[in-house]
Amino acid sequence: MNAANKSNREGKLHGLELLRFILAFLTMAWHYYIFGPALGVVKLREVGFSAFRYLSFTVEIFFIISGFIIIASAINRRPNDFVIGRVVRLAPCLLVCATITMAVGAMFGVRASFKSYLASIFLVPLVFHTGVDWSYWSLRFEITFYFIVFISLCLVDVERNIFKIALTIIIYDVFSLFSPGFLGFDNYLSTIIQYPGEKYSPFFAVGILLYLIITQKKINLATASTLLIACILGTIRCYQEANRIAQSLSWPHASLFDGCCIFLAIFGIFIYFVTIRGNPRFYSTYSRLGKTSYPLYLIHQNVGYTIFAASEKRFAPGFDIRPIVMIAMVVLAAVIANLVEPALARQYRKWISSMMEVVRPVHPRALKSKIGDTE
């Protein structure tokens, strides 16, 4: 079987694998060249190219990818198997990256709390507690989305109810948009973490609906109308997020037109990468890059900031070390993803499988997923 046929059989979306690495790398560039210098945690000059300021919206594209891939991986899957797959996907890298972050911080006198470390390595507490790295904030929303999909698996046939799941998320976002503090969640969680919870839900819904349209070819008035509503909500959320960032970094106020342009760029980037196939000879490279994106996202921020501060204090280099640190982070993330994480993942799968044997939620159709669990 050649690489192209194998790719089609497994349902891998290689364009998204490549996109995830690009997004993780651009997130690192945002933190090193814009966010860090603007906050003063990086004593290096902020880049003057204004377009760099929009690199903060890479996370929204990550959420669209999650909506697209996770709903695909849940189809015809047992709830227990879904949980095992999610934990095995997230937890081993978190254990390695959180440990490295704690160790590097301790070496240079930047100590994270042990409570934050425990929240990081046990995964679920990240919904309610910050982790050892600032970048972990987005995992709160990933885990919440996984929980929604898990509950759906326990109650219904997900494949027949994909549209309803997306619609439910959209209805919730509409209520939260026009009723601040809806159900009290935002008021409670805003005291725990600075990122408002509801502002990212439309992006998951967009990913789910695009899965229906692109993969399952379910193009009808209901799907198209609901996608349009999700895109409008996403535009509003981009506008709000742009102004939240502008306020925190003392930048000029963003307009609703800015929010529209940002969302259109996010949407267009996703559509391009989800539809390209690329050269089959590079599929394994795309896969490795996709694996590297997760540890790169987890480990780059606080470790990088610590290295910059230590370098400035102890060595005072006469040149910009950010490109060197970025290359080092990519290499470290690749080692974690391709050498360390696979061995840990096998152990995690054994442990979690044993634990999940205690409870077996009934699934309407106990078949394995047709699309590879790549997210």
Domain boundaries, the chain: 9-356
Give the tokens for residue 144: 């919440």
Q: Which residues contact 297 (CB under 8 A, 6 or more apart)?
A: 24, 27, 28, 135
Task: Spell out a b/e string for 163-184, using b for 16 or more CB atoms within 10 Å of the CB, else e.
Answer: bebbbebbebbbebbeeeebee
- Tell me how far apart the alpha carbons of residues 286 and 263 are, in angstroms, rounded to a whole number: 25
pLDDT at residue 92 in the model: 95
pLDDT at residue 360 in the model: 55
pLDDT at residue 199 in the model: 81
Q: Which residues contact 165 (CB under 8 A, 6 or more apart)?
A: 71, 148, 149, 152, 158, 208
267-72-58-21 Cα dihedral, nearest 10 degrees: -120
Rounded to 5, what percent of the chain is helix, strand, coil?
75, 0, 25
CA atoms within 13 A on the CB side of 188: 7
Q: Which residue from 134, 266, 248, 257 is spatially nearest to 200, judged by alpha carbons?
A: 266
Q: Which residue from 258, 268, 204 is spatially nearest to 236, judged by alpha carbons?
A: 258
- Tell me how far apart the alpha carbons of residues 47 and 34 are, in angstroms, rounded to a whole number: 6
pLDDT at residue 193 in the model: 40
Going residue by residue through the chain (375 aa), what tens digit of pLDDT does each one get? 344 344 433 445 889 999 999 999 999 999 999 998 888 888 888 776 667 778 889 999 999 999 999 999 999 889 999 999 999 999 999 999 999 999 999 888 777 889 999 999 999 999 888 899 999 999 999 999 999 999 999 999 999 999 999 999 999 888 888 765 444 444 434 433 444 456 899 999 999 999 999 999 999 999 999 999 999 999 999 998 898 888 888 888 889 999 999 999 999 999 999 998 777 888 889 999 999 999 999 999 999 999 998 887 777 667 889 999 999 999 999 999 999 999 999 998 888 888 766 655 544 544 444 444 545
